[in-house]
Amino acid sequence: MARVGMIFCWAMLTLVLIFLFAPIVIVVAVSFSPSTIFSFPPDGFSWRWYSAILSNEPLLTSVWLSAQVAFLATCASLTLGTLCAIAVVRGLVPAGKAIATFMASPLMLPGLVLGIAFLQAARGAGLRDAYTTLLIAHVVITMPFVMRTVLASLAHFDFAMVDAARTLGYSYPRALWKVLVPNILPGFVSGALFAFIASFDNYPVSIFLVDVRTKTLPIQLLNQLEMSPDPTVAAASALLILGTVVALIICDRLVGLRRMASI
């Protein structure tokens, strides 16, 4: 009887994997279709939608914008978050646990609520530049990912090594950079990767902050889907999936997927 139960569980797991991958596989399949209509089963093979990306100016602009925002926001939250995490782990500040929770809390709020809050605050502050507003908002979005991973890595780091480096003549910032950073690099990498993906993929916050000339990739993809749904979107999506898989493999080599997921 227990055997029957286990067979049922394995069958469910197989079905779940097919179910989860179906939309992803379909998008990749459609990106190679030779015609403009999405059909199943596909009726041929072509690269034309991939070359169409290269001549799609708005799409390329939005990729560049998203990459910039995600990169700058990740760098900013890594710097601010790590410094804060050091103070919290070393017990330098009162109510360290509360501070850590506060810094990680944007993840608990619905994205849309955050987006509306940013929009209203930016209007109130007279901040009209979409790029700046997006960047500030994305630092907030990426902060929780950095805080969680860096706090977890710092918990295993022996701060006596920093003190040792200082007795040997390094200044405090230099000791942090030369001793602490290399030691918690895996935590940095996985935190940064998650932060980058969270920013690059973000829709519910960005939708309130973009303007006609400043559109991030998810917003541009969605606009294009609504305006002219041709397989160019599928080709762009397929490239996105490829990018994510490559990033995950690199991360797995550096830290291990399981450790990354349990942050």
Partner 1 sequence: MTTIATKSMATHAKERRTRFDSKALLALPGLLFMTVAFAVPVILLIIESFAGPQGPTLDGYRKVLADNYYVGIIWNSIKLALITTIATLLIGYPAAFALARARGVLQVVLFALIFLPLTVSIIVKTFGISIMMGRGGIINWLLINLGFIERPMRLVFTEFNLYFGMINVFLPFMILPLYSSMRMLDTRLADAAASLGAGPLYAFTRVTLPLTMPGVIAGVSLVFSITVASYVTPSLLIGDRFMTMSQVMAKAYLNIRDFQLGASMAVVMLVIASIIVVAASYLARAPKEGR
The Cα-based distances of 260 to 55, 84, 182, 253 in angstroms read: 37, 21, 18, 11
Q: Which is nearer to partner 1, 121 or 185 (CB)?
A: 121
What distance in Å separates the CA atoms of residue 230 and residue 247, rounded to the nearest whole number? Answer: 27
Is the Cβ–Cβ distance between 224 and 59 less than 8 Å? yes
Q: Which is nearest to 49 in space by CA: 67, 28, 24? A: 28
CA distance 170 to 62: 43
Taking CB under 8 A as the criterion, the residue among 59, 175, 197, 255 binding partner 1 is 197
SS3 breakdown of the chain: % helix, strand, coil, rounded to 5?
A: 75, 0, 25
- Give the nearer residue to partner 1 in terms of CB position, either 91 or 169: 91
Stretch that binds partner 1, among 44-52, 54-62, 105-113, 178-186 (CB under 8 A): 105-113
Instruction: Output the smallest distance, CB 31 to partner 1, in A.
Output: 11
Q: CA separation (Å) from 100 to 31, 105, 199?
A: 43, 9, 21
Of 134-173, which residues contact partner 1 (CB under 8 A)? 136-137, 139-140, 143, 151-152, 154-156, 172
Of 47-55, 56-64, 76-84, 178-186, the window that binds partner 1 (rule: CB under 8 A) is: 76-84
Does 204 interact with partner 1 (rule: CB under 8 A)? yes
Binding status of residue 242 toward partner 1 by CB under 8 A = no
Per CB under 8 A, the segment of 44-52, 55-63, 107-115, 163-171 that binds partner 1 is 107-115
- The DSSP letter of residue 132 is H
Q: Does 69 bind partner 1 (CB under 8 A)?
A: no
Cis peptide before 41, with omega less than 30 degrees from 0?
yes
Among 63, 111, 184, 235, binds partner 1 (CB under 8 A): 111
Instruction: Read off the tokens for 213.
Output: 């000339």
Binding mask 31-50 for partner 1 (x = CB under 8 A): ------xxxxx---------
Site mask, partner 1, residues 170-189, x = CB under 8 A? --x-----------------
